[in-house]
Amino acid sequence: MNNKVTAPSSTITRDLRDLDRTTDNIYESVVVVSKRSNQIAANIKEELQQKLSEFSSSNDTLEEIFENREQIEISKRYERMPKPTLVAIDEFLNGKVYHRNPAKEQTT
């Protein structure tokens, strides 16, 4: 995931009318944001697993497990990142998410 995330790190109040401007349907907007949020969460999880796998070894001692400062710092950095839902909403409101509804395309 890119490091230039502009989403807030805490929850903010949103106007629901802003969410349904592009789709004209609040429920469709929620589905788009939800799917994008799942994609972001999967990417973050994969990225974190790759970084933490560098620290794993087959014969860790108890002392090595508790004293791995780099691993702790990486985990803390990921904990401070904005939640995937907040990032997805921000991307959606700024027009950074491509979405289409095949059912609407067939009726038009």
Spatial distance between the Cα atoms of 13 and 33, rounded to a whole number of angstroms: 16
The pLDDT tens digits for 41-53 are 999 999 998 888 8
Write the single-letter amino acid at 14: R
pLDDT bin (cut points 50, 70, 90) of residue 93 is very high
pLDDT bin (cut points 50, 70, 90) of residue 8 is confident
Least confident of 5-9, 29-33, 72-76, 82-86: 5-9
User: Which residue in the block uniquely carries the two structure tokens 């929620």?
Assistant: 30
**Structure tokens that stand for 30 in this block:** 């929620």
Give percent of the chain with pLDDT exceeding 90: 35
pLDDT on residue 12: 82
